[in-house]
Amino acid sequence: MNYVITIIGPTAIGKTALSIALAQRFGCDIVSCDSRQFFKEMRIGTAVPSAAELQAAPHHFIQNKSIFEAYSVGDFEQEALTKLDELFQKNNIQILVGGSGLYVDAVLKGFDDFPDIDESIRTKINADFQILGLDYLQQQLQTLDPEYYQKLLSENPQTLQNPQRMKRFVEVCLGTGKPYSSFIGQKKNERNFTPIIIGLEAEREIMYDRINHRVDLMMQEGLLAEAEALYPNKQLNALQTVGYRELFDYFDGKTTLDFAIEEIKKNTRRFAKRQLTWFKRTENATWFDYQTDKRNIIEWINSKF
């Protein structure tokens, strides 16, 4: 039996430290599921593990892509599953860690099977969005798939504010002539491993203090210079990310530097709240306070084998 010890939780909660401790204890590797740590040009702003941390245990999918490469969650799913199969040859226990819920789900569960959509439909939706904005996408989904729209409204309203996700829903509806929801749950994705899912959490004020402190450290480590080097490519999808967007506004003369830093903190706190909302829906996850003794967590894991 193969096992994937999966560590989830909001940003700055201590997932990296726990993953390294577990990798050392079980003699295994770490597969990262952080959708921004893939990119080698984005080190400081994505809180890539330090050189010492990367040397403490073998890591995969960290700074292995360029912001100029097209890389989807589907690409990651296939590459991560291939890597896990390779790692299972050496050890039937491996570790999955990261704060990107969609990417964690891709590895653990996979996605429903959607048909290919004609590129012209995608192009038209993008063009209409540029002119009409997010309201257009929301109205389209409400008309084309009212059932799914109501589900999102009641269970996951922040998704209705995500242009990329909304474009995808609408393009599937228009490209197939069927509701997006009609494709959900049709495909059974078999996995050759059993997940053991650990969630890390803290009181809200503690979590927010940790985030604020991390942003201060990022600025000390040179986030401003990193963002300035990336500024000429600010339109790239990979750079539509908290920690960079706010500094791009500063470079554009829209804000002061102090205001931009406070915005990074505020937006990161909001992001952490959304992460928790997503992860708290994870089935079969067991949650631990971020200060729980690692030996207790290891003891709990051993009881699952």
Establish whether 49 is an annotated binding residue.
Answer: no
- The pair of three-digit structure tokens given for residue 31, joined into one six-digit string: 């597969």
Q: Is 16 annotated as a binding residue?
A: yes
User: Residue 285, annotated ligand binder?
Assistant: no
Tokens representing residue 189 in the block? 């994705």
β-pair type (30-32, 285-289): unpaired
256 annotated as belonging to a binding site for a ligand: no
Distance between CA atoms of residues 61 and 68, nearest Å: 16
**DSSP per-residue codes, 194-258:** EEEEEEEE--HHHHHHHHHHHHHHHHHHTHHHHHHHHGGGTTSGGG-STTTHHHHHHHTTSS-HH
Say how far apart CA 153 and CA 36 lie, in whole Å. Answer: 27
Does the annotation flag 268 for ligand binding?
no
Question: Is 151 flagged in the annotation as binding?
Answer: no
Exposed, middle or buried by CB within 10 Å (0-12, 13-18, 19+), for 79? middle
- Ligand-binding site membership of 163 (annotated): no
Residue 191: which residues within 8 A CB-CB, separation 6 or more? 108, 109, 110
Closest CA to 255 of 270, 269, 239, 267: 267
H-helix or E-strand containing 289?
strand 285-289
What value, to the nearest 5°, has the Cα angle with vertex 85 and ends 21 and 78? 105
User: How many whole angstroms separate alpha carbon 231 and alpha carbon 247?
Assistant: 9
Judge whether 15 is annotated as a binding position: yes
Residues comprising the binding site for ATP? 9-16
Residues comprising the binding site for substrate? 11-16
Residues comprising the binding site? 9-16
